[in-house]
Structure formats: structure tokens, C-alpha cells
Copies of this chain bind each other. A is one copy, B any other.
């Protein structure tokens, strides 16, 4: 089934202990779409400027990503530049130029409106809501968010959550949104805000999935080196929704398997700068990592 993904499409400048790159393809919708495209067709909604390069459009199209929802506007593409601490536990934003993104007003092409699986990747909750208003009756709505919106648009975010089936966010965001230090309590609290399921991403510590009746913990893929963590969370969520769309349903079983695939894809994403590894990785590499993860969490070895 089709996956509709809305979010930012950007150019990034990234500084890590392993080097510096500039104007590489970035943005939440970019990472999420590339990740989801391992599992099936993707329809992307976003905006870019006149500086957005043909080669980047082609790279996305080559992965089965429909770009009829990617608006091209006068002006420059959203630009972000950041620097990661050597241990990758924190990052400093050096530049944020919203550019055309400042006037982003998502309008869905007619053929996008019946999308059964919708991922509202990390953008302002007001924009996420405007996308939801334009889809007919999706089978599953998945949403991500970030600290900025929790601080500046909490009311809109809480409003949006009532219409979200599956919320994916990181541990810091879960704590910030609920005021709970304890992640188990934070997860349970988030379930009361609307979503039937919540997944808390914990980076190198894996992820926890909560629902009324179930609780699942997945480890991270054991990486000895992270080159660039940009887009890891977007890739995780994109692969998750892509896998679910391919499975055509959301049960506890498919969700658990989807989390392993999401973990595998996110681990690939961080092995090189920008989306390089997502662009070069084969489905077999993803499958191999899923098998590794299964082995490292099997009690009966």
C-alpha cells in the first residue's frame, strides 16, 4: 500500500568528529521517504526552492518516491547547519534558514488524498494537522515531533495527537511532553493523549513500544561507529510506516517486526553523512541487520 509522508526537505551542513559536509540532502521527509521506500511506494509532500538540484530529485524518484506533492517555490530551500559533540550526545544548531519553508502550505494532489498510511514527519503540528484535513480516512496515521514544537506549539500538538494512531518520539521529547522522568510512566501518559500506540526512541539504547495491553523493547543495532546521526529518528519512523504499509495492517506482531526493520534502517542511516547510506544500501543489507538483531535479542541462543 502507499505511504504518504509530509515533512521538511532541506539542505544540511553537518559537522561531526568524522568530518564536515555541506548542502547535502536533508530534512525529515527526505530521510523518512528514503527509509520507507525500502518497503514500497511513497508519496512525498514538501517544499523546495529554486536551488534544489535535479540530481536530488532524480535520486528520490529512483527510489520509487512520487514527487508530485513536492512543491517548488521561488526562493531557496530550507537550510540547516549543525555540529555534533564528539560523543554524539548533543548537537548545536549553527544556522537555520527557513527560506521557502517559512511559507509552506501543504496541498495534497488529488491522488494522495486516499493514502492509507500517513506519516506526519517532524514539522510544525499546525502543518501536520493541515495534511490530516486533506486525507480521506487513512488506515493509520503516524506522527513524529520535536522539542521545538513541544515548547512553542504544545496546544496544537496535543490537539493533533487526538487524531494520531501511532506517535513516535525520542526519550527527551517524551519526558518534555509529559513532565515524567520515568520513561515507562511517560509512555503510559502519552497513550492517554490519543494515540493507541507510542514508540519512544532511545538512540543507542533501542526503542520501547507502548499500547494499552502490550509493551515491547527492542535493542539498537550494535554499531561500533556512528559517522552522522542526522536523520536517524526520521529514518526509523519512515521505515516503520513503510513496513506497516507493506504489511497492510497494524497488529502487535507486525509492529514488533516493523520496529526491527526500523532499527536496521536507522542503523544504516548513521553510518555515513547525510542520506548516503540510505541511498546506497540494498534490501539485503537491511534484512541481514534484522537477522542480526533477532539473534542478539533471542533468549534461547
Contacts and interface: CB of A to CB of B under 8 A. Distances in A.
A280 interface: no
Nearest to A85: B181
A223 B184 contact: yes
Interface stretch (A38-46, A72-80, A119-127, A200-208): A200-208
Contacts of A188: 224
Interface string A67-89: 00000000000000000001110
Given A205-B202, A301-B252, A296 B184 contact: no
Nearest to A87: B181
**Assembly stoichiometry (copies):** 2
A297 B297 contact: yes
A278 to B, nearest CB: 21
> Interface residue tally of chain A, by bracket?
35 or more
Contacts of A185: 224-225
B181 A86 contact: yes
Interface stretch (A104-112, A150-158, A211-219, A238-246): A211-219
A300 B225 CA distance: 30
Interface of A: 86-88, 181-185, 188, 202, 204-206, 208, 214-217, 219-220, 222-226, 252-253, 256-257, 260, 294, 296-301
Given A182-B225, A217-B296, 19 more contacts: A182-B204, A182-B223, A182-B224, A182-B226, A185-B224, A185-B225, A202-B205, A205-B206, A208-B219, A214-B301, A215-B222, A216-B296, A217-B222, A256-B299, A256-B300, A260-B299, A294-B299, A297-B297, A297-B299
